[in-house]
């Protein structure tokens, strides 16, 4: 049964999300570097290192989670829906007959 929404548009949206995430990657890397730098402060109390370590882990987990959610959206697209939609619109789109 054909879907009524556009799998192509969802896929294109995920392409755009991934592009934005790739732009954000250097900032995430810089934030992680700053956390790691703070963990190297001489005589840092262990309770502060624990919190900084937790922050580092949190950033990594959430950032990885964002990427996995994008992949989850892609995986949820019905198999062959993109190709089917592209084929049906190759010669122009038409309104379905009721």
Please answer whether residues 66 and 90 qualify as being in contact, where contact means their C-beta atoms are separated by less than 8 angstroms.
no
In a domain, residue 68? The reply is yes
Residues spanned by the domain of 50: 24-78
Write down the pLDDT at residue 10. Answer: 96
Question: Is residue 83, in this structure, part of any structural domain at all?
Answer: no
Q: Number of folded domains in the chain?
A: 1
Give me the pLDDT at residue 41, please.
Answer: 98
Asked whether residue 28 is domain-assigned, the answer is: yes
Smallest CA-to-CA distance from 21 within 77, 71, 57 is with 71
A 10 A CB-CB count for 35 gives 19
pLDDT of residue 11: 95
In a domain, 84, yes or no: no
Looking at residue 25, its pLDDT comes to: 96
In a domain? residue 52:
yes
Is 15 a member of any domain? no
Give pLDDT tens digits along the chain (98 positions). 678 899 999 999 999 999 999 999 999 999 999 999 999 999 999 999 999 999 999 999 999 999 999 999 999 999 998 998 888 877 766 555 55
Q: Is there a contact between 38 and 52 (Cβ–Cβ < 8 Å)? A: yes
pLDDT at 90: 79
Residue with tokens 């049964």: 1
97 lies in a domain?
A: no
| pLDDT score recorded for residue 65 | 95
């Amino acid at each position: 049964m054909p879907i009524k929404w556009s799998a192509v548009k969802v896929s294109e949206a995920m392409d755009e999300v991934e592009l934005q995430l790739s732009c954000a990657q250097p900032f995430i890397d810089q934030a992680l570097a700053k956390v790691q730098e703070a963990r190297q402060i001489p005589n840092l109390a262990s309770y502060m290192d624990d919190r900084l370590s937790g922050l580092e882990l949190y950033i990594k987990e959430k950032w990885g989670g964002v990427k996995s959610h994008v992949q989850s959206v892609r995986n949820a697209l019905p198999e062959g829906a993109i190709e089917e939609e592209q084929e049906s619109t190759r010669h122009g789109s038409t309104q379905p007959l009721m």
